[in-house]
Structure 1
Amino acid sequence: MRRVLVVDDESLARQRLSHLVGRVDGFVLCGEARNSEEALRLQQKEGADILLLDIEMPGGSGLNLAYRLSTEEAPPELVFVTAFAEYAVDAFERGAIDYVLKPVRLDRLSEALNRADKQLALRTAEERAARLQEALTAFKGEGEPEDLWIKNGGSEMRLSRSDIRYASSDRDYVYIVAQSGSYHIRSTMTGLAKKLGDASFLRIHRSHVVRKEEIRGFSRVAPDRFEVELNNGDALPVGASYVSKVRELIG
């Protein structure tokens, strides 16, 4: 049995991946990690054969973790799990590192895990380390979206995506609620949603974009009205055309 470690900062994503791993013959879940540091500790303890690894995570991206693992004597096989369809797919293929797009389908995950299993059987630890470093070099410079630069008083500041809880439109401005504070920026919601990308954020309304990890509840509050409840207690409406996306996220 190949041991699989799931690494994703979103609890719903971890739950879904863990459930799907249990449905693929020949593979067993050996742990879940919410960030890179937790993943490293678990990997040292459990010695997983395969990591299912999210790309964008607070406190260190999946790519940073992959670089750190590439220096190990016997790195695990990596399968990146991402919602970015535009996320340097060619680099994955050139480096022969597999990737699975969210929302993850059982058949696609099974294919990726079995491919990783074959690579483990065919290659030595030294070959896997060299192959991983080559793939990451091919990937370098093509991947992650940048953090946001926003005006704060008379200066500009960098706002990390991992700091943002949600954003709501306010006429010609967007109101951003983050762990570090709240900010008004001159932007459209469509423009901000494009900058944030859809790996960690979900558009739930024409006026609201939410970090997926912040969603802790989804409910119908009237025959034709839905809303999500967030970890901080705030509730936001879900537009009718976005209901299916929220339901898809929560499984």
Structure 2
Amino acid sequence: MPARCLIVDDEAPARAELRYLLTQFDQVQVVGEATNAEEALTLLRSLSYDLVLLDIRMPGGTGLEVAAALRDSPNPPKIIFTTAYPDHAVDAFDLEAVDYLVKPFDAERLGRALDRALSNPPEDSEPDQPPPSGARQSDPLGRIPVQHGDRTVLVDESSIVYATAARGYSYLQLANERVLVSFSLNELERRLGRYFFRAHRSHLVNLDHVRELIPDFKGALVLVMNDERRSRVEVSRRKTRELRRLLGM
């Protein structure tokens, strides 16, 4: 059976465009539309949906508020945000969104989001494997583009405390803020320099920013980082042995 989909957007042309794009995907069936947050929640509480394509800025409430209200429901639908504003992506992924599409987008980009939503991959999963031989030495770019509204800021690798996987994207933890980038953790590992260590399949840490190493009861390590929050990053047991060798411990 195709996934039951709800489109939520306050603009009729945007809803019509989404409905048209979705006709190209047999695995999805549009069974409802809402024009604001209140309508969306009413429909979502009265009918079981598998997928919601959700705008963010709407009269009477935001899409982020809708997603927050759904998070604790027994069987929440998968959420793909569709918005003209790129500056809410971190908040969206904090609410466990599957993807975040910035308008305008085409059928190919929508298709990738649908594949991600309907394939149900494990949360924050990425293959725990090293980069191709020589990649770290031959392809360190050292600067990562970060979208801030309509501007792109280049973040120097030295200011990155650690990175965390987020469903094909990554969060970068800086000294006093967290930003979202469109690179997977594997891609970041190839782009960044030799001081970055893959502590876990979901974590890439800058060893220059490690403040303390604390052993845990499972025989692994927890790294205390020197960002403002004193974040703690888990090191897997296999990677713990590698890190101890690297540090001469």
Q: What interval of TM-score do these two structures reach, taking the shorter chain for normalisation?
A: 0.3 to 0.5
TM-score in terms of structure 2 length: 0.46
Higher relative contact order (CA 8 A, sep 6+): 1
Give the structure with the larger helix fraction: 1
